Each structure stands twice: as structure tokens, then as C-alpha cells.
Amino acid sequence: MKRDLVKTALVHLRRNDPVMKDVIRRVGPFALRLRRDRFQTLVRAILSQQISGYAAAAIRARLEALVAPQALSPENLAALSIEQLRAVGASPQKAKYLLSLATKVRDGELRLKVIGRLRDEAVIAQLVQVQGIGVWTAQMFLIFSLGRPDVLPCDDLGIRQAIRKLYGLAELPDKATSLRIAEAWRPYASIASWYCWRSLELPRDPVEVKGK
């Protein structure tokens, strides 16, 4: 994301939400780095579904080794079989998802090179046509690949956990509650979401620990 945009976003968040102001102070500078290879970002997202980041990274490394010395491209991935993808650790379902993605990009049905010209809603509509890509994955693509500044992934468990903790809720917020809290973040919900994720990595408040 552009430096001036981030600077403006931080001023806005600090001014409009005292809770977020404190999170920004504790977390420190905004340090999101965009993933420029859009195809590989989506491959990574599919592989990461419902497994640990470590396991997903291991499968991705084996997949990259399989196509080496070529890069992991739509053409190279589409040329693989279900059996080859299974051999590197992909589940049968994810193998089908990966081939669906690769084929659609290779054949021009999903035009990742120009998808950044579309509005957020149109990007999501394009991506969810691919097997294995839902709204959450599309939102992650908007944030981490296209750098869109105002995306709020309400269904993300980490975001819900952060909102519950930061805003003192008795239970995980539903979508309506998350949207209500995030009104103060607009139009920079992506930056606030990044701080929500990072807040989960902060050391526990000594006062909170003492109270347990």
C-alpha cells in the first residue's frame, strides 16, 4: 500500500477509535508487504485452507520442487495430474481446486493481470467462480495482493477474536456487531484488520493475567 495512504489511514484510525489508537501504539508501524504474484497468492490461499501454515508451506515447497526449474505458473500447474498433486501432499479436493484455478487462468477465463482494475465487489465475484475460492479467500487476495484499503473480513476467526478481546465483548461478534465497530475504521478497514491480526501476537496485559 502507498505510504501516503497508510499515513492518512493511521491518522484516521487514531482519531476515530481510541481502542485502535492503543493497538497501533502497541503493535508499531504498519508493515504489510503485498504479494505481487497474484497466481501464486491464490495457490497459497487454497493450500492453506483448514491446515496449519507450516503444513501448507511444506506442500507448497514440494509443489515448487515438482515443477522446478520452471516457476509455479498456471501453465505448469495445469499440466500436472491429480495424482502428482496428491503425491506432494494436496488433498484430492485441493488438487481439483488447484487445477481449476490453473486452467481458468491459463485459458483466460480468470484474467489476473487486469483484475486489479475492478472494484472490490467485482474482484470477489470473479474469484468465487473458481472452485475452492470463497469470499474469505477473495478478501485475503484484495488485502494482501491488491492492497485494497477498505476490506473487512467479518468471517475471519482472527478478526473476530481480536474484536472480542479489544472491545471487551462477552463472545465472538457476529457480522452485524463487527460491521458496527468497524464503522469507525472506514474507509481503512484493511489497515485496521491488519492491526487486529497483529494484536493477537502481543504479550498479554499484566493486569489481565493478574485478574485470572
Give catalytic residues, as residue numbers: 156
Residue 46: name the closest of 141, 124, 123 by CA. Answer: 141
CB atoms inside a 10 Å sphere around CB 89: 18
Q: How far apart are CA 160 and CA 24, in angstroms?
A: 18
73 Cβ contact list (under 8 Å, min separation 6): 39, 67
CA distance 43 to 55: 14
